[in-house]
Amino acid sequence: QVQLVESGGGLVQAGGSLRLSCAASGRTFSSLAVAWFRQAPGKEREFVAGISRNVDITGYRNSVKGRFTVSRDNAKNSAYLQMNSLNVDDTAVYYCAARNYFHTTYGGDYDYWGQGTQVTVSS
């Protein structure tokens, strides 16, 4: 079993930045791929960014490329999502998810999920 706990969400003005953290416990974090998903009210959950167990393998949805950066620190059993140049369309609950080895963009592939953290961007 893996437990994931997100933190770092909040209210920010458009153009601002936030850094989300995902703390993992329960098994060897370095063997896990981690992804960030988000879900806005009335919308489907969508993939935002992912990082595989090899830290040089990352992926992003097009709308966040160049603004968001996913990273991990295996020594701290944590993953991060640095979000810059935020806009109102980024408002959502952000979830951290984990699976073995390589990240994918499909939420159904993930075995473990955090409880989510709210990100609200005001105009």
Residue-wise pLDDT for 102-112, tens only, equals 999 999 999 99
- CA dist 54 and 15 (Å) reads 31
Structure tokens, 35: 């992804």
CA dist 47 to 26, 28, 51, 64, 104, Å? 24, 24, 12, 10, 9
- CA dist 106 and 102 (Å) reads 12
Pairing of strands 117-122, 10-13: parallel
Among 70, 72, 58, which residue's Cα sits nearest to residue 104? Answer: 58
Res 68 pLDDT > 80? yes
Tell me how crowded residue 75 is: count the other CB atoms within 10 A of its CB: 8
For the chain, the average pLDDT equals 95
